[in-house]
Structure 1
Amino acid sequence: MPLLDSIWMLIVTYLAPFIFVLSLVVFFHELGHFLVGRACGIKVDAFSLGFGPELAHYTDRRGTRWRLALLPLGGYVKFHGDANGASAADFSAVEAMSAEERAVTFAAQSVGKRAATVAAGPIANFILALAIFTAMFYVQGRDVLLPRVDNLIDGGRAVAAGFQKGDVVTAIDGRKIESFGEMQRIVTAGGDVTMKFAILRDGRPIELTATPERREIKTAFGPERIGVLGISSSGAPENWSKKHFSLPGAAVEAGRESWYVVSRTGSYLGGLVVGRESPQQLSGPIRIAEVSGEVAKSGFWPLMNLAAMLSISIGLLNLLPVPLLDGGHLLYYVAEGLRGRALTERVQELGFRFGMAFVAGLMIIATYNDVARLTMQWLNLG
């Protein structure tokens, strides 16, 4: 009985929030492809949430088979004439079709329609994130902590720059600062970058120059290399306030929040390419499930906040110019537009093989990181 209780607790605590978050993000991504594809006159053969054996299905009046599959680790939309859910064309099958049937295949559409259909998936991810953030800020508002320096780490960059306890940061590089969290975001993103800080000290404005030190720290998503200045806030109740938003104001704040996630994710991906960031920071489904479970304990809105951040990350990842991903398809269409004709079947096939290897490699690294981290946790507990 204790074993069954433990399994049930694992499902409720971690698996259920993980499936909810990932399914929500994947569903909207694929819905973007689906809606724009249909609007462009493309027939949709299947819409699958999940991979593998089918658990349930429904066929609509236009012939689309809506599938719920066993493995909740993704999904796909299969357009008419595609060989698979990755929109790789089945050229021989398309050639064997009648002219009427061929006209509603994905491959028969103009470059513009195909590009719009492919781009709609990542765009839907960004729209979902904006909608979640807007609702969250409108309903809950935002807790704001005064950007006051309450503690200084001995030997830290802030001490060297001349910061003192009681300083209130009002601007960084000319950008107005309203909260400690906003200051943290700028500093963490600016490791080894010199910044100018506008400070209020005993009511007098002064200016300090400091360079946050780039360090690896542990976060909810694993190790991360960020800028560290060496200051902290006590979080005293009198330093907190609640900022409320109208619906338009919440939408503006949602745009700012989304841009922050985009910039941080894009910065990491770019740093990964040039070797500035470590692939050890990549997290896979195991880590996402673990974080989903921990965040869900804090309530519905923190879980939705995680879903919004994950939605943006998946949208950006899909825009990478790698065949198999949406960005790879868009790259093909750019080449087709410049050449005046599509790339050869052989070139496309080789590209998809490379893309498959690239995506598989990322998944292997991310899963290895997850397993290695869990193993270290178990060893430490032992």
Structure 2
Amino acid sequence: MSLLHTLLAFLLAIGTLVVIHELGHYLVARWCGVKVLRFSVGMGKVLWSRRVGPDRTEWAISALPLGGYVKMLDGREADVSGLPPEELKREFTRQNVWKRIAIVAAGPLANFLLAILLYAVLFMTGIQEVSSKIGEPAPGSAADRAGLDGGDVVVAINGESVSGWSDLRWQLIQATLEKEDARIVVRRLHRGDFTFTLPAAAFSKLDIEQDVPSALGFSIALPPPVLNKVAPNGPGAEAGLQPGDQITHVDGKPMRDSAAFLHAIRSNPGRALQLDVLRQGSAIALAITPRAEQQKAGKDSVTIGKIQVELAGQPDMIVVASGPLEAAGKAVQKVWDTSVLTVKMFGRMVTGEVSWKNVTGPITIADYAGQTARVGLASYLSFLAFISISIGVLNLLPIPVLDGGHLLYYSLEVLTGRPVPERFGEIAQRLGVGLLVTLMALAVFNDVVRLL
């Protein structure tokens, strides 16, 4: 069922995004007076079709679901010499260059508009996410050296407002790409706002394929360690721990949150520890010895301590909601920022600053589609918006056979006053196909490596 769920979520996502992209081409082509012969969802052999409308446009579903196309009346693809004059006027290459630019650009633009719409809806209805309150920074980490402390709430990074953990992560990724200082404004309970700086050197060796916040020492703030369950006959039960107990200290060290307590237990296998416990308002002291157990860590195994208890509580959650105008503005900004980041990623991959391992293909996209669909509608819609932006940006790259390649040809035509030579176009088309096939092969290879 999990595989079927993932497959259905993937096909729904790809089908929706392809239809929206091709509808952009179709609607603007019709608006410009160009005759559309076929609108296909999928590539390859046509499995089902029906002709509708005054032009008898063929609406089709084809065998390969990874794509789609709009086929227009085009003299480069078929002999149109025998058509009557009123039909020739509707042939694509006979349109002026600005109409051709509009038709080609409409596909990526439709993807961006869809992403703006989805984000605006999410911002208006409210997105529940983890707050930007941070846990105790890892000792010696960049966050620790900068002076940040557990319980700090990050409110801005480099002048950009931070409302939740996703904003915090996004701004740190931006700083990682730019290899620049990160000025972090935090709010401390009853003490006001403070500004700290993570120097550019902290980002110099980071790669965005890492968990950037974790690599810098940031972690999500967790609640104090309160026990929800205690397994019978486990070290916790033998020590006298009970559900509802709050651990305040381990060997005299205060336990600010659950993460600190977990670290204290896991890092002391087989060693006797002194626990200070708060039980129904009364303080008691207990001795406990974590049981030593082996755990896999990559190809190796490590010894950790376990006491067989379950901790209660969740991180602080917030709901970020906006009015219609604010939501629309935030959605436009989100799409713009994501598009710019995607372009920067491509540029840095070309220059070797970012690994080509970041290129993902249909397997990874399907995996994320399934995961987000299981989490909930809001996560799935956010995923759709992100992939829609990625498709829009990818199609605008100046690679022949993509929309961006055609826009490059037409831009040269605007500048020179004459079309790109046909022979040049044919050679560029072949190179473009080769480059696209190479990128797809790399994406699938990366997908398989991730699975293995």
Cα distance between partner residues in 2 of 1:235 and 1:308: 30
Paired amino acid for 2:15: S
Counterpart for residue 146 of structure 2: 161
Are the equivalent residues in 1 in contact too, given 2:359–2:442 (CA < 8 A)?
yes
Counterpart for residue 243 of structure 1: 320
**Counterpart selection for 1:363 from 411, 423, 440:** 440
Superimposed CA distance per residue, residues 148-196 of structure 1 (whole angstroms, 9 cap, x where no aligned partner): 3322112211112222223333332333333333222111221232122
Paired amino acid for 2:172: V
Cα distance between partner residues in 1 of 2:52 and 2:382: 33
**CA distance 1:200–1:303, shift in 2 (3 Å):** closer
Q: Which runs of 5+ in 1 are unaligned?
A: 1-8, 83-88, 218-222, 377-382
Cα distance between partner residues in 1 of 2:146 and 2:393: 36
**Counterpart selection for 1:125 from 85, 89, 111:** 111
Superimposed CA distance per residue, residues 254-307 of structure 1 (whole angstroms, 9 cap, x where no aligned partner): 223323322332221121122111111111111111221122111233222211
**CA distance 1:372–1:26, shift in 2 (3 Å):** same
Are the equivalent residues in 1 in contact too, given 2:19–2:68 (CA < 8 A)?
yes
Residue 267 (structure 1) aligned with residue 344 (structure 2): yes
Cα distance between partner residues in 1 of 2:222 and 2:151: 13
Are the equivalent residues in 2 in contact too, given 1:333–1:342 (CA < 8 A)?
yes
Superimposed CA distance per residue, residues 200-252 of structure 1 (whole angstroms, 9 cap, x where no aligned partner): 445144332213434347xxxxx458574211122546843323323333222
Question: After the TM superposition, which residues 83-232 of structure 1 pair with which residues of structure 2 at under 5 Å, given as runs?
Answer: 89-90=76-77, 93-95=79-81, 97-139=83-125, 141-143=126-128, 145-191=130-176, 192-201=179-188, 203-211=191-199, 212-213=202-203, 214-216=205-207, 223=209, 226=212, 228-232=215-219
- More deviation, 117-126/167-176: 167-176
Cα distance between partner residues in 2 of 1:145 and 1:12: 30
Are the equivalent residues in 2 in contact too, given 1:189–1:226 (CA < 8 A)?
no
Paired amino acid for 2:206: R
RMSD of equivalent CA atoms: 2.2
Cα distance between partner residues in 1 of 2:438 and 2:385: 25
- More deviation, 233-242/298-307: 233-242
- More deviation, 29-38/182-191: 182-191
Question: After the TM superposition, which residues 7-156 of structure 1 pair with which residues of structure 2 at under 5 Å, given as runs?
Answer: 9=1, 12-61=4-53, 62-81=55-74, 89-90=76-77, 93-95=79-81, 97-139=83-125, 141-143=126-128, 145-156=130-141
Are the equivalent residues in 2 in contact too, given 1:215–1:225 (CA < 8 A)?
no
Residue 312 (structure 1) aligned with residue 389 (structure 2): yes
Shift of 1:23: 0.6
- More deviation, 362-371/168-177: 168-177
Shift of 1:95: 4.6
- More deviation, 183-192/115-124: 183-192
Are the equivalent residues in 1 in contact too, given 2:48–2:60 (CA < 8 A)?
yes
Q: Kindly tell me the number of residue pairs found equivalent between the two proteins.
A: 354
- More deviation, 280-289/299-308: 299-308
**CA distance 1:224–1:118, shift in 2 (3 Å):** farther
Counterpart for residue 4 of structure 1: none
**Counterpart selection for 1:349 from 422, 426, 434:** 426
- More helix by percentage: 1
Counterpart for residue 276 of structure 2: none
Paired amino acid for 1:125: N
Paired amino acid for 1:49: V
Paired amino acid for 2:219: S
Paired amino acid for 1:215: L
Superimposed CA distance per residue, residues 40-88 of structure 1 (whole angstroms, 9 cap, x where no aligned partner): 0000011000012222111012121110112110000011025xxxxxx
Cα distance between partner residues in 2 of 1:118 and 1:334: 12
Are the equivalent residues in 1 in contact too, given 2:164–2:318 (CA < 8 A)?
no
1:232 is paired with a residue of what secondary structure? coil
Residue 333 (structure 1) aligned with residue 410 (structure 2): yes
Shift of 1:100: 3.0
1:36 is paired with a residue of what secondary structure? helix
1:234 is paired with a residue of what secondary structure? coil
Cα distance between partner residues in 1 of 2:61 and 2:3: 19
